[in-house]
Amino acid sequence: MKHTNVKKLAVAGVFCAVAVAGSTLSFPIFGSKCAPVQHMVNVLCGILLGPVYSVAVAFAASLIRNLTSLGSLMAFPGSMIGALLCGLAYRQFRNIPCALFGEVFGTAILGGLCAYPVAIFLMGQNAAGIAFYAYIVPFLVSTAVGSLIAGALVYSLKRSGVLHSMEESLAV
């Protein structure tokens, strides 16, 4: 049991590092800054490690990104809710499209809506005026691109049989 937990913790640490390093990669799409790496990591964590580790990785990556000025406070609600729903959806249905949908819906819709109170309480009234409208669409763009990348990667791993081996090794 302890050996599996150490493996999961090590994989979670690597995913956290990838999310933080990947936060420097972004590109504009439809006037929005698209930073898909966190969302790709959320999907991979949700599938390989489950919802608890996925949320922990999203929280740690968001915290490190904020402490190093690589992210904003909006990283917390978006990434954590998306990671949770992705992990729960995959655990419940063992279906990759369900996990991808959980990430997109959790981050874009629920995370975008949760960004509004975060903007009010932590960022001030000026940010709150635009938060409701300004976060759902950018969150949707980033999470959709990240989920597509993760989906392509996960399906490749599944076709080659590596996904099954990884899941057995980590005992999801």
Query: How much is the mean pLDDT over the chain?
Result: 89
Residues in Cβ contact with 62 at an 8 Å cutoff, skipping those fewer than 6 apart: 38, 71, 75, 76, 79, 80
pLDDT at residue 131, as a whole number: 53
CA dihedral 80, 104, 158, 54 (to 10 degrees): 0
* E strands present in 5-98: 27-29, 32-34
Whole-angstrom distance, CA of residue 107 vs CA of residue 82 = 4
Give yes or no for residue 57 having a pLDDT over 90: yes
Burial 58-76 (b: 16+ CB within 10 A, else e): bbbbbebbeeeebbbebbb
Give yes or no for residue 129 having a pLDDT over 60: no
Query: Predicted confidence band at 31 (pLDDT cuts at 50, 70, 90)?
Result: low
Instruction: Name the most confidently modeled range: 15-29, 35-49, 72-86.
Output: 35-49
Whole-angstrom distance, CA of residue 2 vs CA of residue 4 = 5
pLDDT at residue 124, as a whole number: 67
Is pTM beyond 0.75 here? yes
Query: Predicted confidence band at 78 (pLDDT cuts at 50, 70, 90)?
Result: confident
pLDDT at residue 113, as a whole number: 84
Query: Predicted confidence band at 49 (pLDDT cuts at 50, 70, 90)?
Result: very high
* pLDDT tens figures, 152-163: 999 999 999 999
pLDDT at residue 121, as a whole number: 77
